[in-house]
Amino acid sequence: PPGRKVLIVYAHQEPKSLNGSLKKVAVEELSKQGCIVTVSDLYAMQFEPRATRNDIVGCLHNSEEFNYGMETWEAYKRGGLSDDLIAEQKKVQEADLLVFQFPLYWFSMPAIMKGWMDRVLVQGFAHEFPNCYDSGLLKNKLALFSFTTGASKEMYAKGSISGDIRYLLWPMQHGIMHFCGVKVLAPHICFAPEYVSEEKRKEMLNAWAQRLKSLWKEEPINCSPEWYFK
């Protein structure tokens, strides 16, 4: 709907990749709906994935013994996080929906995107005990993990060699997004795009565009252990 804000956090090196095309389709379709779409193109931004001392501007809270979680929490409260983090947090704060678009790397997201999670979702901003899970600080937002795989759908079936694809979603959807209070929409998975025909890939892109048309009517998944492991 017009005015809804979407942040696409995108991790692929190559614009001509299927991930690049999926991102493009999402920008086009959501913009067409009147949504305000922002993209964080992590490789193009040369986004820093490492959680280090450089994320804190000025003096440390405890300069005797460095504690990244503590220091970023304190820095957040005094407005002392590095500019790149403040910019990403602003995009997150404004967004109604976060879309993560990436190729599956080692049963997870690429390091550059994991680094985005590590650095952006700072305590005090995204969660602050006991404000976690349903009372996480980013409640009233939605997240959607959209990714591609090398392996086929059959290999990611329950009981197959790679196990149910939902097992891999537990850390990302539940451990990160739900922890921060974000509601999770069903993932969007394009299996093995490198090993299917050009025509099949076009169908994959079409299916994504179709899904986005009715996205705002979707109910979040019931993000509890049962959804993943039952």
- The least CB distance from residue 174 to ligand FAD, in Å, is 19
Is 80 among the residues that bind ligand FAD (CB under 6 A)?
Answer: no
How open is the CA angle 39-190-139, to the nearest 5 degrees? 50
Question: Which of 28, 58, 10 has its CA nearest to residue 212?
Answer: 28
Is 166 among the residues that bind ligand FAD (CB under 6 A)?
Answer: no
State which residue, 141 or 178, has the beta carbon closest to Zn ion: 178
Question: Which of 141, 155, 125 has its CA nearest to residue 184?
Answer: 141
Q: Decide which of Zn ion, ligand FAD, none touches 217; Cβ closer than 5 to 8 Å per partner kind.
A: none
Q: Pick from 64, 83, 198, 226: which binds ligand FAD (CB under 6 A)?
A: 198
C-alpha to C-alpha distance for 224 and 77, rounded to whole angstroms? 31
Question: Would you tell me which residues interact with Zn ion (CB under 5 A)?
Answer: 174, 178, 223
Q: Pick from 7, 9, 10, 19: which binds ligand FAD (CB under 6 A)?
A: 19
How open is the CA angle 2-98-32, to the nearest 5 degrees? 30
Q: Phi and psi for 56 in degrees, rounded to 5? A: -110, 125
Is 56 among the residues that bind ligand FAD (CB under 6 A)?
Answer: no
Query: Judging by beta carbons within 10 Å of its beta carbon (0-12, 13-18, 19+), is residue 2 exposed, middle or buried?
Result: exposed
Is 146 among the residues that bind ligand FAD (CB under 6 A)?
Answer: no
Q: Decide which of Zn ion, ligand FAD, none touches 223; Cβ closer than 5 to 8 Å per partner kind.
A: Zn ion
Mask for 94-133, x = binds ligand FAD (CB under 6 A): ---------xxxxx--------------------------
3 state DSSP class of 31 = helix
Q: Phi and psi for 189 in degrees, rounded to 5? A: -120, 125
Q: Decide which of ligand FAD, Zn ion, none touches 174; Cβ closer than 5 to 8 Å per partner kind.
A: Zn ion
C-alpha to C-alpha distance for 180 and 122, rounded to whole angstroms? 10
Q: Pick from 146, 149, 180, 181: which binds ligand FAD (CB under 6 A)?
A: 149
Q: In the numeric block, which tokens belong to residue 13?
A: 């090196």
Is 170 among the residues that bind ligand FAD (CB under 6 A)?
Answer: no
Contact 150, 208 (CB under 8 A): no
Residues forming the site for ligand FAD (CB under 6 A): 12, 14, 16-19, 21, 103-107, 148-151, 193-194, 198, 201-202, 205
